Structure 1
Amino acid sequence: MAKYELEKLSAETQSALSQLFVITTETIRQFETGEYFVLFGRGSKRVQNILGIEREILILGNVYADQQARSVRFARRIINESDGRLESTLCVIVHQDGRGNTKLKRWGRENGLAIIPIYTSTGILPRGQELERLLSYEFFTQDPFDVTGPVASDAQFFGRRTEAQELARKLQLGHIRSCFGIRKIGKTSILHRVLAEIKNSYDAATLFIDCQRDDVFNLDAAGLLYSVEQSLRGMRETGQSYAEVNATPFTGTTAEATNRFQAVLEQFNVPVILAFDEIDYITPSNGSAVQWRHGFVEFWRNVRAAYHAAARADRKVSLLVSGVSSRWFSVESIDGIENAALAFIPEEYLSPLPRGAANAMIKSIGAMAGLQFDEDALEAISSFCSDMPFWIRKTCSSLHGKIEIAARPITLSVATVSTMLEDYGRDEGAALAKVALQHLFRVYPELRGPALSLLDEGRALPPSLQRTLTRYGIAAANGAISGTMMRMALVMIAEEQPVINELPAQPEGEARPLISEWAEELAAISYRRNMMERSLRSIVINFLRVSALSSKGSATAKATLLAAVGEKRRAELEPFNLDLIAERLYWLELVTIISKHWLLFERVFGDKSVFNRNAEIVNDRPDAHAKQLEPSDIAMHRRALQWLDERIARV
């Protein structure tokens, strides 16, 4: 019965898609415990242009009422096995799960696929233009830039594939490596990628120590050594090739824990790889775990002793240390005690993406949402984000949300993205970068002063500090600040510094000069006009929307609005959605739109000539001119504002 229903849905899908695709392959296949119909479809020229595709696309379907992640894994496998015949980032899945659209899109993002879900509760699919609109909407509304956790799949891992493979190879040979970098630079992503590469390609025993876990950083040096030893012993007994450390408190001495650790290392005939992530939690920087102030040197001194003992016994042991601050691995002593980690753990960094890789990342992911960028736009985005992959994703996610769905696929120019980048930096980007910098300065406070000094472009830094700031992505190779978001964040942090008041103290009892009445009047006029302009934007958009919905066959609200502005401004505003266009309209443009569609607004403002006269007075903006106003001028502005206020308040 289930197979009959699946074949029936396959036939219905082919019939519905017949005007849009030519089906070249049709099969029924099983994957894990599921059964699917599999179609390869070559899109018509129109569909190819809409979706931005050149190859055939995979069309998958099932009749299950609850979609599982295996559907997306199956799609990814088929695409990978097609040897380039199928589009690598796009797939259509026909299903009967009422909640399936959201799930499939999310799983698709995790696997580097733009899933176009088609839900049918009755087994009947829309056809023709209705189906075309559905495909376009489902494709363009998803946000492929929105990846919040670490990425490891080939489709999402940009610019560092070779780096990860080389790091895995060196660890298998018994090397000690480190991976330091600013927050959200991609350390955990590359660490996961390296561990996956080791699992798939090498014969080794890998123990992962996540130092941010409470049960891990609350241990002392002896306890962590003992926990590592016990976890390795368990792997040895069970034959596991990978495990996460099992934090176990230890009441013995550090010497006893070290002897046990050294003994278990000698029992392995394959390389033993110890991978430490979020290492900052077991350094003196962690004020909530004071035992690591003195325990840091103690721990690494004994790890070094066990490492050398294993080498003498002809056993391969590798270390990978990942975290934000390289500070405690670069100082000669801590509290007067020689730092055992100084010559043991190398100072290596995960820097921002190379510019070519950053541009390729934007280009590849953007294609999954119908967004294409010219070369200058790619450069502008990468430069704005200092080539930081997470910052790029967040920025492009913001751009994605501001581009009208109906306008896609669309090629964005540098002129279009520049204004959106400025808005994003002011609204979110600077704060995002500030969080990353503040975290770095908290665990590596010595970098705060040199980093802020970059704002003084004429000031030179010692070469060693310059190199460190470059490795962290704060500075470019030429010594300048690496990007706009970074500069914004540094400015915000600098402004939080206490300001020394160099003005002479005011004599006691002497009254401060009062703000002039003229300045107060200007401030009041400016405030009232800004509030009114905001209300006017809302009225214009809502009235145009209602008009478009109530008149069958009439132009959309966006089209009506754009028709009322000049040709040059129309080209600038075209890519944006209606709400964003409204935010960008000038006062005179709002007035022009109202005048051109006076029949819609007449019941609000009454007399058109009176409206235009008062709008012109308000637009004069006396607060923008450094000149004295006559009392009659101020009274005139008050009356104009009052007239408009009263009519807007009626809506």
Structure 2
Amino acid sequence: MPFINPEVRDYFQENPIEEKIVKPFLHNFDITWAKKRKAFNTEVSVYFFKPEQIIIDNYGISREILAIYAPYYTIESRTIQATESFFHDFPAVGRVENLNFILISDCLSIDDWITKYISENPEFFRIIIGYSSQELLDAKGDGYFVRRRFDKYLYGRDLFDFRLPLKNDFLFFGRKDIIAKVYSSLMKGENSGIFGLRKTGKTSILYKIGRQIEAEKGGIFIIYDCKEWDIQNYRWYELLERICFDISKKLDYTLLKKISDKTVNSIFAEIIEYADKKGKKIIHFSP
């Protein structure tokens, strides 16, 4: 039998429509906490769902999962901002799953909205499992419907998509030997390269090395994505000019000469010499 915290039952007395909306989750979760919260000028209902064994076994989710009900027919980014703030507030912090959360909205096109939001915010690391309130009401307690949606979102998003290199440490695991070897070579002033098939994590490794360099103040980290259209269309001296400007900005170095195709080589050499005197290493990656 599903468990509903007595305080949650009291909450449902004041919000009976929400009890009907979350009913399908009771086949897979206990409901341990519920409260209305306001942040970023939006009010939502916040729930904690404690997974039953079938959810633990199928999806590896052992902690409670945060669920948000936004009673609006349109979703805005501030709903996600508010949710982020709840992750860091009591009682969620240290209690709920960090990687996933459930978003319920009156918006009928919630799937499309989530897809668009993720495409526009590729560094957003949490997986949003979305439901419209109407489809939950139509499900009438169908627990399989809830799990099918979990399948779609948890198994459907490729966290290692080559378009989405990992730019923070939350999802970065392993590759310690490669990182240590490349980092050591760079600190010795040696050149290094990382080669591999696409979607094997090369760019994610570069970003990880860059974070380590900056954290340990070991040098200046600059990365150029050669798939970008503007970089592909640079002449050689135009790209070197951009590199000069970027390094100068990082070093707080004032360029004394006007850069042109005839002067860019000598100016670049001056910048490198200045960096060497300052004890700075230039780490420049071009994936």
Same fold, judged at TM 0.5 (above) = yes
- Residues of 1 paired with 2:94 and 2:181: CA distance? 26
- Residues of 1 paired with 2:15 and 2:220: CA distance? 47
The structural deviation recorded for 1:30 is 4.0
The Cα offsets for residues 418-457 of structure 1, whole Å up to 9 and x where unpaired, read as: xxxxxxxxxxxxxxxxxxxxxxxxxxxxxxxxxxxxxxxx
| 2:24–2:146 CA contact under 8 A, matched in 1 | no
Match of residue 100 from structure 1: 110
Match of residue 192 from structure 2: 178
Match of residue 225 from structure 1: 240
- 1:257 partnered with 2:221: no
| Candidates 280, 283, 286, aligned match of 1:319 | 283
- Residues of 2 paired with 1:13 and 1:202: CA distance? 51
The one-letter code matched in structure 1 to 2:174 is G
SS at match of 1:178: coil
- 1:160 partnered with 2:175: yes
Q: 1:94 to 1:222 in 2, by over 3 A?
A: closer
- 1:35 partnered with 2:35: no
The structural deviation recorded for 1:250 is 5.7
- 1:55 partnered with 2:63: yes
Query: Which structure: greater strand fraction?
Result: 2
| 2:71–2:106 CA contact under 8 A, matched in 1 | yes
- Residues of 1 paired with 2:37 and 2:184: CA distance? 37
The structural deviation recorded for 1:161 is 6.3
- Residues of 2 paired with 1:30 and 1:201: CA distance? 39
SS at match of 1:35: strand
Q: TM-score, normalised by structure 1?
A: 0.33
The structural deviation recorded for 1:119 is 0.4
| 2:43–2:70 CA contact under 8 A, matched in 1 | yes
Q: How does 1:56-205 map to 2 (within 5 A)?
A: 56-68=64-76, 71=79, 82=92, 85-104=95-114, 107=118, 111=124, 113-121=126-134, 124=137, 126-128=139-141, 130=142, 132-142=143-153, 143-145=156-158, 147-152=161-166, 153-154=168-169, 156-160=171-175, 164=179, 175-184=189-198, 185-196=200-211
The structural deviation recorded for 1:188 is 1.8
Bigger relative contact order, structure 1 or 2, given CA contacts below 8 A and separation 6+?
A: 2
The one-letter code matched in structure 2 to 1:260 is I
The one-letter code matched in structure 2 to 1:117 is G
The one-letter code matched in structure 2 to 1:186 is G
In structure 1, runs of 5+ residues without a counterpart are 1-5, 239-248, 266-305, 324-651
SS at match of 1:137: helix
Q: How does 1:359-374 map to 2 (within 5 A)?
A: none
SS at match of 2:267: helix
SS at match of 1:210: coil
Work out the percentage of aligned pairs sharing the same amino acid: 18
The Cα offsets for residues 121-147 of structure 1, whole Å up to 9 and x where unpaired, read as: 49956442x2x1220111123413473
| 2:165–2:204 CA contact under 8 A, matched in 1 | yes
The count of aligned residue pairs is 261
The structural deviation recorded for 1:118 is 1.7
Q: How does 1:126-525 map to 2 (within 5 A)?
A: 126-128=139-141, 130=142, 132-142=143-153, 143-145=156-158, 147-152=161-166, 153-154=168-169, 156-160=171-175, 164=179, 175-184=189-198, 185-196=200-211, 206-213=221-228, 215-216=230-231, 219=234, 221-233=236-248, 251-253=260-262, 256-263=263-270, 265=271, 306-307=272-273, 310-311=275-276, 313-323=277-287
SS at match of 2:71: coil
The Cα offsets for residues 179-215 of structure 1, whole Å up to 9 and x where unpaired, read as: 3203313222222344455567759754433344455
| 2:129–2:150 CA contact under 8 A, matched in 1 | yes
| 1:179–1:187 CA contact under 8 A, matched in 2 | no
- Residues of 2 paired with 1:201 and 1:35: CA distance? 41
| 1:93–1:118 CA contact under 8 A, matched in 2 | yes
> Which structure has the larger Rg over C-alpha atoms?
1
Q: 1:113 to 1:218 in 2, by over 3 A?
A: closer
The structural deviation recorded for 1:10 is 4.8
The Cα offsets for residues 70-112 of structure 1, whole Å up to 9 and x where unpaired, read as: 6556656755775653334442211122221244367399655
The Cα offsets for residues 488-526 of structure 1, whole Å up to 9 and x where unpaired, read as: xxxxxxxxxxxxxxxxxxxxxxxxxxxxxxxxxxxxxxx
- Residues of 1 paired with 2:128 and 2:20: CA distance? 20
The structural deviation recorded for 1:34 is 3.8
The structural deviation recorded for 1:28 is 3.1
SS at match of 1:66: coil
SS at match of 1:115: strand
- Residues of 2 paired with 1:169 and 1:67: CA distance? 47
The structural deviation recorded for 1:63 is 2.3
- Residues of 1 paired with 2:230 and 2:125: CA distance? 34
- Residues of 2 paired with 1:237 and 1:47: CA distance? 53
SS at match of 2:145: helix
Q: 1:258 to 1:189 in 2, by over 3 A?
A: same
The one-letter code matched in structure 2 to 1:319 is I
